[in-house]
Structure 1
Amino acid sequence: MSTEKDNKGSVFTLSDFNSTTVLTEKVENGKESEYNPFENRDPKSSNSTMGSLAHLLKSSLGTGILAMPMAFKNSGLLVGALGTIIVGFICTHCVHILVRTSHEVCKKAKVPALGFAETAEKVFETGPLGARKYSRFARAFSEYGLVLTYLGANCVYIVFIATSFSNVLNSRLGVDWDVRYYIAVVTLPCIILGEIRKLKYLVPFSAIANLCIVVTFTITLYYMLSSPIKLDRPKFSSFGQLPLFFSTVIFAMEGIGVVMPVENSMKKPQHFLGCPGVLNTAMFVVMSLYTVIGFLGYAVYGDAVEASITLNLPKGEPFAEAANILIAIAILFTFGLQFYVPMDILWRKIGPNIPKDRHNMSQIMFRAGIILIMGGVAAAVPKLDPFIGLVGAVFFSILGLCIPAIVETVFRYPDDLGKFNWIVIKNGFLVVISVIALITGSYTCVLEIIEMYTGKHHK
């Protein structure tokens, strides 16, 4: 991936994955000064602090926020509100330690910036002797984690788009077509958008998607605030439903894949962390909105709440139908940007093995084939709520919680683990949370999927 001018302004740039160019350090008074990675970044392709905040907010406010009322259904009003805040703090902390570790390893390795997978690789490569042999594995694990996370999220997008169109068209046409028919149709424009290989051509789609999301949120809030808000909903659901709550919130809130690109492209990266800082400001806004939407959605619709709150809007009303169509268009137009990241990683691995004169046709077929597979997966699990929970439990828990905790521990081992080795204890706790979310969330979601096919309820 190159730093072409057409990539300027995008959050997915060279700093996302390949940024290991070593720059010469300064020498003052005959002594080598400490390497400052911020001073060696390319200022021409940098984003302002406010621009970086906008990018981070845009990446975090997507389909996940529309699933928050369903998450509250699986937790209850009180537990949902407290749980969303707790998960938000945990996710924010994991981003903090990942970015801070990346800054420190940049100084140590004398490189201006590192992406997510590169940070994991360099931490092991420059870490304890026993860990260095695992550096390539750490990078590969992180890269394929990113690939599977984005592809899994895109599968959810296909189901989301198809479900939204199905909700409107079935009502309008007076038919009861299975959502799988809509998935088959939606897969075709996804293939077209997935063939776009340059970020500059995705910018107009992203702009339209942002406008559609704003209008959808406005309409959805109008309907929710115009309906009776019932605060007598259960404050706590059941322990059996909590895994679905946590996996859904992790899916909705976790944006670990775009954090490093945003931070690496900042003109003043020292403003990313700290108080208030770009990260803290963005996560405060995200936690607040997610908590409010989840609380209001469940308080209004109760157990009838759908996996996307837009599906609860009144059928037959023009504004409600417009909200469903607009959010479907928004997610469809976001598909190309989300698909760009995994394809960039995969093509860099397989491209060198293909003759250059066959690159174009090979890319076309490869991208189309991947999307067709994703469409098949979406058709196999055409129900939104267990699919969202499964992707959150399997991929985002590992990528967003487990890897940052391990990376920080390896980097600080053995001499910088704090008093009583509290960093090991804290990060061990994060890994345990990640594993519990993985196991319980996956188990619960798989049971939901089995129930969908068999009609049998599993206790």
Structure 2
Amino acid sequence: MASSIANLCNTIIGTGMLATPGAFRYTGLLPGMFLIILCGFTSAAGLILLTMCADTLGGRKNSFFSIALKTIPNGARFFDAAIAIKCFGVSISYLIISGQLMPQVVLSFAKALNSHETLPGFLLDRSFWIFAFMVALVPLCFLRRLDSLRHTSYLSLLAVMYLVIIVLYYSLPSKKEHLPEPGPIYIINIDGHHFLSVFPVFVFAFTCAQNMLPVHNEMRAARPLHFFRTRKAIFSSISLAGTVYLIVGVLGYVSFGSNVGANIITMYPDTSLFVCFGRVSIVILTLCSYPLQVHPCRAALDKVLAPRRASLDSLPSTQLNGIPDTHYRDDEGNISSDNAGHDSVDVPPQLAASNNAQSEMSIQRLCILTGIILTATFIIALIVDDLGLILGYVGSVGSTTISFILPGLLFSSLHKDGSRAKFRRLAQGLVVYGVLVMIMCLAANILKSVRNIPSKADAEAFAIETRRLSSLVL
């Protein structure tokens, strides 16, 4: 249970928590708090519906692909391709962010210790840090089970708690003198022009659906306790993440008012060792999230490249070493049924005849896929400085699809009758919500793209400067 909560929390809480106070600037206190609660609730609803689909099918090898094969078979490979692209892009962004942050962290420590004049040049090179981080992360990325990453998730949560302590510390009245002059604080301040651009900050703050099914598959429990323990992990992780966002968002906004920046940690004194270690915590938080993106990216990519083997996942009637896949051996060695008292679906005979062992990804294939992902992310992170705009579009489509649209569609298609059919209206409502969120997020990214287009005057000034430099060279 602790491992599941930690891995889900680590997937949810990223550097986006530092942008929450800045988002409050364009919503005000009450709307910002409401949006955090709303987005947490809708994200939890999507995770619960997805888990109920896996519980109905039974087995310990469920994935988006295997559930889609029973519901929307024509879209199964497309769904996993979207997940692979989304996780691949996010993992690159983590390397880029870490590479950009570490030179700043080194400078902060050097200034705090009055030794910035003697710094070696390579410590300020982002390429050096990206390479160093990759060396440290490679062993973690080859682990097969998500549960094996629990120790890095525990470390990540410690980093989150440290950042929360910084926000709490500087929100004390006695520490206000160390901060810039705050701007006005608004209870309600919905700026329609800017609200659209900050809305994705709240929506994507709770994205973790890509790792939900592995957590469900690895949860230690037999049915029906299996589903209830998974549901408990969902509520615990969403509640913990929501609490962190509320603390950082509210106190960060109250400390600086409308003068709060896009990244709250940059608002605190950079000569304080206390804050310097906070910036180290951001790097730790970012790096610990990288393997949690590689894991679902590899699994989704495997489903896309080997759909036949993936179709054998989660089959209730398959056998492995003589023990049905729908049974679970607990810590005492007792075998418990994994099917009693739940809705079930019919399995095609041609699939049921295949052996479950064939559905396992071989060590060779795991190493090849992981190596490809690591190499590609490393090279792109070295070449590209910013993926913000591209990831905005990928996240608008990919994150909303796997968090809201897919869980609703899969649940509605799988539960047309039975005891769980009463939740179909909720599932269909989540699909509509996901489509609306996708439209709003795409509109926000289009608006951002338009703002980044240089004006005619800027273009003319750039052309004049280019001609001047060319004449100097000639």
The TM-score with structure 2 as length reference comes to 0.67
Report the counterpart of residue 94 of structure 2 in structure 1: 157
Q: Secondary structure at the match of 1:454?
A: coil
Residues 199 and 337 in structure 1, CA contact (< 8 A), matched pair in contact too:
no
Q: For residues 206 and 104 of structure 1, do their structure 2 counterparts lie closer, same or farther at Cα, with a shift above 3 Å needed?
A: closer
Q: For residues 455 and 188 of structure 1, do their structure 2 counterparts lie closer, same or farther at Cα, with a shift above 3 Å needed?
A: farther
Residues 61 and 286 in structure 1, CA contact (< 8 A), matched pair in contact too:
yes
Q: What's the offset of the Cα at 1:92?
A: 1.0
Residues 71 and 248 in structure 1, CA contact (< 8 A), matched pair in contact too:
yes
Q: What's the offset of the Cα at 1:323?
A: 0.8
Residues 247 and 392 in structure 1, CA contact (< 8 A), matched pair in contact too:
no
Equivalent positions of 1:265-344 (< 5 A) are 265-268=218-221, 270=225, 272-273=227-228, 277-344=232-299
CA radius of gyration, larger in: 2
Residues 67 and 308 in structure 1, CA contact (< 8 A), matched pair in contact too:
yes
Q: What's the offset of the Cα at 1:249?
A: 1.7
C-alpha distance in structure 2 between counterparts of 1:150 and 1:339, whole Å: 7
Identity of aligned residues (%): 21
Q: For residues 91 and 300 of structure 1, do their structure 2 counterparts lie closer, same or farther at Cα, with a shift above 3 Å needed?
A: same
Q: What's the offset of the Cα at 1:300?
A: 1.7
Q: Secondary structure at the match of 1:336?
A: helix
Q: For residues 309 and 182 of structure 1, do their structure 2 counterparts lie closer, same or farther at Cα, with a shift above 3 Å needed?
A: farther
Q: What's the offset of the Cα at 1:400?
A: 0.2
Report the counterpart of residue 50 of structure 2 in structure 1: 98
Are 1:257 and 2:210 matched, yes or no?
yes
C-alpha distance in structure 2 between counterparts of 1:221 and 1:274, whole Å: 32
Report the counterpart of residue 67 of structure 1 in structure 2: 19
Report the counterpart of residue 344 of structure 2 in structure 1: none
C-alpha distance in structure 2 between counterparts of 1:230 and 1:238, whole Å: 16
Report the counterpart of residue 85 of structure 2 in structure 1: 148
Are 1:216 and 2:216 matched, yes or no?
no
| Structure 1: runs of 5 or more not aligned | 1-48, 125-133, 175-180
Residues 76 and 233 in structure 1, CA contact (< 8 A), matched pair in contact too:
yes
Q: Structure 2 counterpart of 1:74, which letter?
A: Y
C-alpha distance in structure 2 between counterparts of 1:202 and 1:260, whole Å: 15
Q: Structure 1 counterpart of 2:39, which letter?
A: V
Report the counterpart of residue 412 of structure 1 in structure 2: 415
Residues 184 and 375 in structure 1, CA contact (< 8 A), matched pair in contact too:
yes
C-alpha distance in structure 2 between counterparts of 1:78 and 1:333, whole Å: 32
Are 1:57 and 2:58 matched, yes or no?
no
C-alpha distance in structure 1 between counterparts of 2:204 and 2:421, whole Å: 31
Q: What's the offset of the Cα at 1:79?
A: 0.9
Are 1:443 and 2:446 matched, yes or no?
no
Q: Structure 1 counterpart of 2:220, which letter?
A: K
Q: What's the offset of the Cα at 1:444?
A: 1.7
C-alpha distance in structure 1 between counterparts of 2:226 and 2:60, whole Å: 16
Q: What's the offset of the Cα at 1:370?
A: 3.5
Q: What's the offset of the Cα at 1:326?
A: 2.6
Q: What's the offset of the Cα at 1:322?
A: 1.8
Report the counterpart of residue 198 of structure 1 in structure 2: 143
Report the counterpart of residue 371 of structure 1 in structure 2: 378
Q: Secondary structure at the match of 2:171?
A: helix
Residues 68 and 290 in structure 1, CA contact (< 8 A), matched pair in contact too:
yes
C-alpha distance in structure 1 between counterparts of 2:261 and 2:391, whole Å: 12
Q: What's the offset of the Cα at 1:414?
A: 7.0
Q: Structure 1 counterpart of 2:295, which letter?
A: Y
Are 1:189 and 2:136 matched, yes or no?
no
| Structure 2: runs of 5 or more not aligned | 118-123, 308-362, 458-474
Q: Structure 2 counterpart of 1:236, which letter?
A: N
Q: Structure 1 counterpart of 2:196, which letter?
A: P
Equivalent positions of 1:23-62 (< 5 A) are 49-62=1-14
Q: Structure 2 counterpart of 1:141, which letter?
A: F
Equivalent positions of 1:419-434 (< 5 A) are 423-424=424-425, 426-434=426-434
2:30 maps to which of 71, 78, 94 = 78
C-alpha distance in structure 2 between counterparts of 1:292 and 1:276, whole Å: 24
Are 1:119 and 2:67 matched, yes or no?
yes
C-alpha distance in structure 2 between counterparts of 1:78 and 1:59, whole Å: 26
Report the counterpart of residue 241 of structure 1 in structure 2: 194
C-alpha distance in structure 2 between counterparts of 1:50 and 1:450, whole Å: 45
Q: What's the offset of the Cα at 1:250?
A: 2.2
Q: What's the offset of the Cα at 1:295?
A: 1.6
Report the counterpart of residue 357 of structure 2 in structure 1: none
